[in-house]
Every structure is written in C-alpha cells, then in structure tokens.
Amino acid sequence: MTLTREVMTPNALCIGENDALSIAAEKMSELDVGALPICGEDGRLKGMLTDRDIVVKAVAVGLDPDTTNAGRLANGAPVTADADAEIERVLALMKEHQIRRVPVLEEHRLVGIISQADIARHLEAATTGHTVEQISR
C-alpha cells in the first residue's frame, strides 16, 4: 500500500489570495511550475492557480495582472487528497476530475502536491500511462 505522502512533492509553496497575478506568474517562472496553490490569510487552501488561468481568465479578458489578486480566480472548492490516503484514491480523483495536480492536506493544512511528474517518478510505467491517458481525455 503506497500512501499519498510517499509520492507527493512536499512543502508546496502557496500564492496568497491577496497577491497579484503578476507575483504568481513570477513565482511560477522562478519555480518552473505551471500551477500554485492559493492560500488564504488563515493559511488554508482556497484553490489552485495555473498559468493558463492567468492567461485565459485574466489577461485575455482585460484584467490587469498587477492589480488582480489570485483569490479572484479561486473558483469552487479545490479537489484535494489526504496525506495518509492510498495513492489509488488520488489517481481516481485525477481521472474523475481530469486534473494534473492535486494539493495534499494534513489536518486541513497544505503539506504537498501530487503532479503527473510525481506519479511518473514513483509508480509503475503502466499506472502512469493509464492515469495520463484518463486525465487527457
């Protein structure tokens, strides 16, 4: 039995819900990632922000990335996984919601994130291939 915490990338960095999208884009560039969790003032997860969100939901519709905060794009409840859940549960969530990244929580606090790359590094090739195929439908 493989637990989520064994596969996740620990210590995922958040963008604050009141931080500008331009700050989020800079952080994504520095970290070479395509998504960041959005955390509230209380340290709790509010959503996920992708580079695509910044372009399509903000820049393309005329929002100023220097004055638009990340929290504005945190729509709906994020799909999350518990750190002690079996990895198969996370794979099922990724397939069901067709998402490439899942924030990992422990006692309602962000402790990591699982991406397709984490799956490829830690699980069998057949499992990785099947998961990616199902996510990309």
> Of the CATH numbers 3.10.580.10, 3.40.1390.10, 3.40.50.720, 3.30.70.1230, which one belongs to the domain with range 4-135?
3.10.580.10
Q: Where are the domains of the chain?
A: 4-135
Q: What phi and psi values does residue 15 have, to the nearest 5 degrees?
A: -100, 135
**Which residue intervals of the chain are DSSP H helices?**
4-7, 21-31, 51-53, 87-97, 116-122, 125-135
pLDDT tens column, 20-69: 999 999 999 999 999 999 999 888 899 999 999 999 999 999 999 999 99
Structure tokens at 28: 């994504």
Compute the distance between CA of residue 53 and CA of residue 76 in angstroms, rounded to an integer.
14
pTM for the model: 0.87
pLDDT average, residue stretch 85-93? 95
**Which residue intervals of 32-137 are DSSP H helices?**
51-53, 87-97, 116-122, 125-135
Q: Residue type at 116?
A: Q
Asked if pLDDT for residue 87 goes beyond 80, the answer is: yes
Q: Model confidence at 103, in pLDDT bands (50, 70, 90)?
A: very high
